[in-house]
């Protein structure tokens, strides 16, 4: 969904140009198709680079499509975690986990794995904020 924002902007701009400038009516379709296909390819590349791992001393997170970024955080410095869910993530059971002062981000993590991941590195820190279902 996020990758198609550019397609929406381009289509709206092209439709406005057709209406205002009297350009051919087929132009928005001719512009939207390659932009949408490119956005799908970029989203696929971004998805393939998503990932994380938790070692005994580090949290490693990967992201990006055109510029790939691998972030490593020494977990001894983690004093807090933030679990975020967008509207669309909530619908499919995903969350974004943010850790530490450098804000290492683990995107699109299944929600049922986000809290246990944080709890594995900082045992007991989240006990007051979570409820266990029995």
Q: Residue 27 and residue 114: Cα distance in Å, rounded?
A: 45
Is residue 128 a part of any domain in this protein?
no
Among the candidates 29, 46, 63, a domain finishes at 46
59 and 99 both lie in a single domain: yes
76 and 113 both lie in a single domain: yes
pLDDT of residue 1: 62
Contact 93, 87 (CB under 8 A): no
Look at 106 and 31; give whichever has higher pLDDT. 31
35 and 58 both lie in a single domain: no
pLDDT average, residue stretch 19-30 = 92
99 and 116 both lie in a single domain: yes
The residue segments making up the domain with residue 23 are 2-46
42 and 27 both lie in a single domain: yes
35 and 63 both lie in a single domain: no
**Separation of CA 45 from chain center:** 13
71 and 114 both lie in a single domain: yes
At 132, the pLDDT band (50, 70, 90 cuts) reads low
Contact 73, 59 (CB under 8 A): yes
Q: Is the sign of the CA dihedral 112, 117, 122, 123 positive or negative? A: positive
54 and 11 both lie in a single domain: no
pTM for the model stands at 0.62
112 and 77 both lie in a single domain: yes
- The count of structural domains within the chain is 2
């Amino acid at each position: 969904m996020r990758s198609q924002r550019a397609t929406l902007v381009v289509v709206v701009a092209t439709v406005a140009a057709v209406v205002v400038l009297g350009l051919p009516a087929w132009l928005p379709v001719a512009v939207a198709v390659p932009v949408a296909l490119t956005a799908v390819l970029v989203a696929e590349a971004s998805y393939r680079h998503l990932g994380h791992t938790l070692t005994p001393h580090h949290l490693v997170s990967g992201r990006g499509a055109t510029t790939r970024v691998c972030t490593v955080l020494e977990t001894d410095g983690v004093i807090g975690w933030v679990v975020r869910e967008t509207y669309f993530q909530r619908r499919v059971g995903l969350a974004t986990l943010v850790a530490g002062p450098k804000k290492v981000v683990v995107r699109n993590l299944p929600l049922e794995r986000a809290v246990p991941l944080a709890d594995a590195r900082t045992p007991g820190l989240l006990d007051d904020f979570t409820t266990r279902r029995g």
